Amino acid sequence: MKEHDCSPLTDFIEYPAKEMLSRSADFYDNIKRRHSIRKFSDRPVAREVIENCIKAAGTAPSGANHQPWQFVAISDPEIKRQVREQAENHERGFYSGRAGDEWLDALKPLGTDDQKPYLEIAPWLIAIFSEKKGGITKGEENTNYYVHESVGIATGFLINALHNAGLATLTHTPKPMSFLNKICQRTDNDRAYMLLIAGYPADDATIPHHATVKKSLDDIATFL
């Protein structure tokens, strides 16, 4: 095999211009129904759904295609209990001063606090890790590139896949998150990137008004 061996692009789909327009609008209509929620139902979700969504995340582009990510999907009640216990321990310190006044003020409209019952109630917690060293084949120890960018994109794919499947999510970043390494049995090569909570919303789930305010196209885009 040549080092830059290629195969033809066979799975690209071109849509007629009108359909392209309606598809772009439909996607926007769909994705704008994604909301972070903090009250989950304990209704179970099939593991195969989570597997498919992680497979979708794994198709994300990454630096040198090293795919510097690891997804640890947790449904075991005892492991979820440990995650909750340790996350709440850290969050207590965060909310009782470590965050600083400016950060706490910024969070006030979201109504968050150090209580994280959803970490035990939701059927799935997906701990996402970035990998410092790696390579295209599992077990390699080469330098990974653009790790933060790559894992961020894969996480976006995962959130999108879960939403598309009909699940609600919460991006949760307990601070610090290093406690997840031990619980998830990851080595020092892995860095906890995010904890994604996934499941059905509770009947009384709400979204803070603050979170529904999205900047306009004019505010976020410039066309030159």
Chain contacts with ligand IYR (rule: CB under 6 A): 91, 107, 110, 112, 172-175
Which one, 66 or 163, has the nearer CB to ligand IYR?
Answer: 163
**Smallest gap from residue 179 Cβ to ligand IYR (A):** 13
Closest CB to ligand IYR: residue number: 112
Nearer residue to ligand IYR within complex by CB, 110 or 153: 110
Beta carbon of residue 61, minimum distance to ligand IYR (angstroms, whole number): 26
Q: From the CB of 170, what's the least distance to ligand IYR, in Å? A: 8
Cβ proximity to ligand IYR: between 91 and 144 the closer is 91
Q: Using an 8 Å Cβ cutoff, are 208 and 141 in contact?
A: no
For ligand IYR, the closer of residues 105 and 140 by Cβ is: 105
- In whole angstroms, how close is the CB of 135 to ligand IYR at the nearest point? 32
